[in-house]
Amino acid sequence: MFPVEKIACIVEGELLRRGNESPTRAIHDSRLVRPGDLFVALPGHRSDGHRFLIDAFNRGACAAIVSNTGSLPSNARNLIVVDNPGRALQQLASAWRDTLAATFVGITGSNGKTTVKALLGHLLSAHGSTYTSPFNYNTEIGLPLALLSMPADARFGVFELGAERPGDVRRLANILRPEFGVITSVGPSHLDAFETIDAVASEKWSLVEDLPGDGMAILNADSSHLLQRASMAKVPVISTGLNSGDLQAEVIQVAPNLEVRLKKHNVTMTCPLIGTHNANNLLLAAATANTLGMSWDLISTTVTSFEPLPHRLNPIRTSFGTILDDTYNANPPSMTAALQMLAAFGDKDSTRTFVFGEMLGLGRDTERYHREIVRLALSLPIDAILPIGEAAIAACRAADASKIVLLPREEIGRHLAQQVAPRRAAQSTIVLIKGSRVLELETLVDGLQSIG
């Protein structure tokens, strides 16, 4: 990164206890600090980063951005004092972006953006030095942190742009300034902030609007909201899809591995993902990689070694059958896709159980969306539905069906264990566990995996 004096200049801060260091990266969690890091003391509702300055410098931080100088620890040095550490972090990331010669790809969408990011990063790594933003660093804090960790010699930079409220994508795009914009989908997500799906679509589309004149957009043509807007783009557009688009594919197999065949190319791609929805994700990543110079042969060869991300519809083999671990998050489209995969997984003798975790962030339509998911689950070959969370339980109570099992959260794990135990020898039980991240449903996954 830059020397501390230049950092202070970039963020318009005052440098106290000056030294000569040049930090290696920025970090906002003192527990993750490594020697040579710049610690950003972010004030927050539940915790204030200034409380952890001692810990950050004990772990090897060489500098810090702060706004409160009231109780600076004696071991702190290179303290850059600003009014707003979060804004300073964004200013610093934007300045670092100016120094990088890489080609940048920004990815947004209601569903699939993290999977597309990981797929594209994996593909491009076989084509040139590639940096992929880590974890779910896709916010006004996470994206700058990820950008500041990007090596100066990387050829490609692949980043994810999230949106919890109007204007988020534009703010992030203004920092990242990608040449390529990928939009994975538009659906009912964060409706408590956006209110309508059309507003969600406009938010995602702002990524395309902010691309440079020589940029390019890659869109999911199976999303009607995106297809309608494609003709308005001021940059070239490549659309992908299973039903329409410039690059189309047919799904040959959805499990235990995903296999798709491109319709206009003599190319079949096989990767260790499952589900039709992931075929769209694979197409978007492959189309972007091809546009960036990768041959179709190299793409099809490289994608076979992709390692799926945890908690995103991952099949976990157990003594009794399979857990479909989709506990990272949930909204209606992703819940629908997961239910369709549950219905298709296994054979005619399999027993299927759906642990239905509440979907948060749906605003005034929460009740309707939860009832629609219950109706879908009841229409599929699913033997039991166990709801968790107020909205999921309310929708299941309203359905009043024999497949529905209403239990307190603390009893669900024990109930599942009792149900699967007799079927261990047959190994024919499939359990889908899915819900919003805050429910921490991965604890149920861990409990089921422990069954011997």
Torsion of CA 385, 388, 391, 394, to 10 degrees: 60
What's at 299, amino acid-wise? I
Burial of 168 (0-12, 13-18, 19+ CB in 10 A): buried
Q: What's the whole-number mean pLDDT along residues 409-432?
A: 80
Taking the C-alpha atoms of residue 310 and residue 123, their distance in angstroms, rounded to an integer, is 19
Name the fold adopted by 100-305.
UDP-N-acetylmuramoyl-L-alanine:D-glutamate ligase (3.40.1190)
110-165 pLDDT, tens digit each: 999 999 999 999 999 999 999 999 988 999 999 999 999 999 999 999 999 999 99
Q: What angle (nearest 5°) sits at the alpha carbon of residue 179, between those of residues 178 and 181?
A: 75
Collapsing DSSP to helix, strand or coil, 427 comes out as coil
Mean pLDDT of the chain: 94
Confidence band (pLDDT; 50, 70, 90) for 20?
A: confident
- Measuring CA to CA, which residue among 439, 419, 443 is closest to residue 429? 419
Taking the C-alpha atoms of residue 398 and residue 135, their distance in angstroms, rounded to an integer, is 38
What's at 103, amino acid-wise? T
Region class of 144: left (phi > 0), else alpha (psi between -120 and 50), else beta: alpha
Q: What is the pLDDT of residue 417?
A: 86
Q: What is the pLDDT of residue 426?
A: 55
Q: What's the whole-number mean pLDDT along residues 53-58?
A: 96
Half-sphere exposure of 46 (CA within 13 A, CB side): 0
What's at 397, amino acid-wise? R
The residues, ordered by sequence, that sit 6+ positions from 84 with a Cβ below 8 Å of its Cβ are 67
Taking the C-alpha atoms of residue 185 and residue 229, their distance in angstroms, rounded to an integer, is 13
Confidence band (pLDDT; 50, 70, 90) for 423?
A: low
**DSSP code at position 311:** T
Residue with tokens 């969408």, as numbered in its chain: 109
Q: Which CATH architecture has domain 314-449?
A: Alpha-Beta Complex (3.90)
In angstroms, what is the C-alpha Rg of the chain? 24
Taking the C-alpha atoms of residue 178 and residue 180, their distance in angstroms, rounded to an integer, is 5
260-291 pLDDT, tens digit each: 999 988 899 999 999 999 999 999 999 999 99
Q: Is the pLDDT of residue 421 over 80?
A: no
Residue with tokens 């409706």, as numbered in its chain: 191
Taking the C-alpha atoms of residue 169 and residue 210, their distance in angstroms, rounded to an integer, is 10
Which helix H or strand E contains 287, and what residues bound it? helix 276-291
The residues, ordered by sequence, that sit 6+ positions from 379 with a Cβ below 8 Å of its Cβ are none
Q: What is the pLDDT of residue 95?
A: 97
The strands making up 258-262's β-sheet, listed across from edge to edge, are 130-132, 156-160, 103-108, 180-183, 216-220, 237-241, 247-253, 258-262, 268-271
Report which of residues 421 and 235 the model is more confident about. 235
Q: What is the pLDDT of residue 420?
A: 78
Confidence band (pLDDT; 50, 70, 90) for 412?
A: very high
383 alpha carbon, distance to own chain's centre: 30
- Domain residue spans of the chain: 4-84, 100-305, 314-449
Taking the C-alpha atoms of residue 394 and residue 387, their distance in angstroms, rounded to an integer, is 9
Q: Is the pLDDT of residue 452 over 70?
A: no
Both tokens assigned to 180: 């390529």
**Shared fold status for 100-305 and 314-449:** no
The residues, ordered by sequence, that sit 6+ positions from 349 with a Cβ below 8 Å of its Cβ are 426, 428
Most confident of 142-146, 189-193, 411-415: 142-146
Name the fold adopted by 4-84.
3.40.1390
Taking the C-alpha atoms of residue 269 and residue 415, their distance in angstroms, rounded to an integer, is 40
- CA-to-CA separations, 445 to 314, 326, 391, in angstroms, rounded: 11, 10, 21
Collapsing DSSP to helix, strand or coil, 425 comes out as coil
Q: What's the whole-number mean pLDDT along residues 393-415?
A: 95
